[in-house]
Amino acid sequence: MNKSLILHFRPKMVDARALRFSMTFGLGGMALVLVFILFFTGLLLKFYYLPFPEKAHDSILYIRNSVLFGAFIRNIHFWSANFLIVITFLHFLRVFFTSAFHQPRGVNWIIGLGLLIIVLSFNFTGYLLPWDQLSFWAVTICTGMLEYIPLTGKWLQSMTRGGLEVGAPTLSIFFAAHTALLPGAMIILLPFHFWRVRKAGGIALSEIIDGDKEKYRVKAIPYLLLREVVTALVLIALILILSIIFDAPTGDKANPGLSPNPSKAPWYFMGFQEILLHIHPFFAVCIIPVIILIFLLVLPFIKYVSNSKGVWFISGRGKKSAFFSFILALVLSIIVVITDEFIPDFSAMLPGIPMLVSNGLIPCFIMALAFAIFYFLLNKIYRPDRNENVQAVFVFIFSVFITFMITGIWFRGSSMKLVWPWLLAG
């Protein structure tokens, strides 16, 4: 009985060091609160939403304009969904930078990656439901990327869309996934994720401690519970304030015959869309994401030379290595974005060579060379151990992606040309 799933959700005693806000920033608990908010507000919205192309947009307008507190509930749902992406990703970073993915937490790290993918899928499937111009063309762009996957690309695209184009079957598929399949997956994985944390002894803390560990332990109730309640109330208050001040966007009804300029993916996928501007789709959609995913999956199973569990950025040298990686990645990313805007790509300079080579293999070779130079300089200057090396590589990849995402969101205008944000505002 003591080994049951439910009884292991909450410990009776916790390490006092785990109560420090700077250890976790309450990110895991906040994500759980947002999931409950989204489930509840989503259930309320289902009473009025109609998942049919000819009625979906009108039902959103009806919720917003005619249902009592309808706009407020939709605003809460919208802001909670966006906050969930940010907080889940920050939680993912917190786990990584405190080395909380080391064994015996490797399985839970993989479960966490699965939950992050589910959160992104939740937002992506929900993005289409208003059936406005922005969501229709964003989903058209994102599902269009699938065709570049070898062998199964066309089939995956057809299965996702329910046909050749985004239409009524697509809306039906996305609605079913958003309201049934993904919630089911979340309900299964989320409790298991929390249980695995409990089974591993709570959050990852440094094992370097003087004296008896037991003297650092305090009762979870009221010490832990009080902090969780306060964090949850602050988060809920912030969501309510945003929902009162800012309305969830509702554009014009989707028009398959009129594409907006620019047509952009949702903000959390803009990094991949920006990559598509610089490299052949096969590499942008298949090769690069697969390499990154494999890197993340094998992280817990690498043999590390030191135990840095529970220590932010591993060490002083680790912080310096990470900062070096961030600066170099930022500079290289900006150089790529600017030079690619004003210098013809390799397909124009090498017209006789297939696009897969000129815009794929050659840029990838240059990227690999740049990464090799970065890795050489990192080890030459800082001489990091394996833990610090892995962290520096992660920071480099992460910084490149975030730079590309910010570029796509704020610095791409008509025809995805490079612009300044204040010019767009004017």
List pLDDT tens digits, range 181-228: 999 999 999 989 988 888 887 788 876 655 455 557 888 788 888 898
Q: What is the pLDDT of residue 44?
A: 96
Instruction: Give the C-alpha separation, 201 to 310, whole Å.
Output: 12
Question: Which tens digit of pLDDT belongs to each residue from 1-26?
Answer: 445 555 556 677 787 888 888 888 99
CA 155 to chain centre: 25
Q: Please give the model's pTM, rounded to 2 decimal places.
A: 0.90
Q: What is the pLDDT of residue 176?
A: 96
Range of the domain at 24: 1-257
Same domain, 251 and 280: no
Same domain, 75 and 207: yes
Q: What is the pLDDT of residue 185?
A: 95
Question: Which tens digit of pLDDT belongs to each residue from 358-398?
Answer: 888 888 898 899 999 999 999 999 999 999 999 999 999 99
Q: What is the mean pLDDT of residues 255-283?
A: 89
Same domain, 185 and 292: no
Q: What is the pLDDT of residue 20?
A: 85
Tokens of 317: 């040298």
Same domain, 225 and 241: yes
Same domain, 12 and 158: yes
Instruction: Give the C-alpha separation, 395 to 333, whole Å.
Output: 13
Of 75-79, 133-137, 211-215, 382-386, give the range with the top mean pLDDT: 75-79
Domain boundary among 205, 231, 257: 257
Same domain, 235 and 331: no
Same domain, 310 and 421: yes
The number of domains in the chain is 2
Same domain, 300 and 329: yes
Same domain, 211 and 276: no
Q: What is the pLDDT of residue 213?
A: 57
Domain boundary among 242, 257, 272: 257
Same domain, 290 and 241: no
65 within 8 A of 85, measured Cβ to Cβ: no
Q: What is the pLDDT of residue 423?
A: 52
Same domain, 168 and 277: no
Kindly report the CATH number assigned to the domain that includes residue 147: 1.20.810.10
Same domain, 239 and 291: no
Handedness of CA 276, 282, 286, 291 (dihedral sign): negative
Domain boundary among 237, 257, 277: 257
118 within 8 A of 332, measured Cβ to Cβ: no
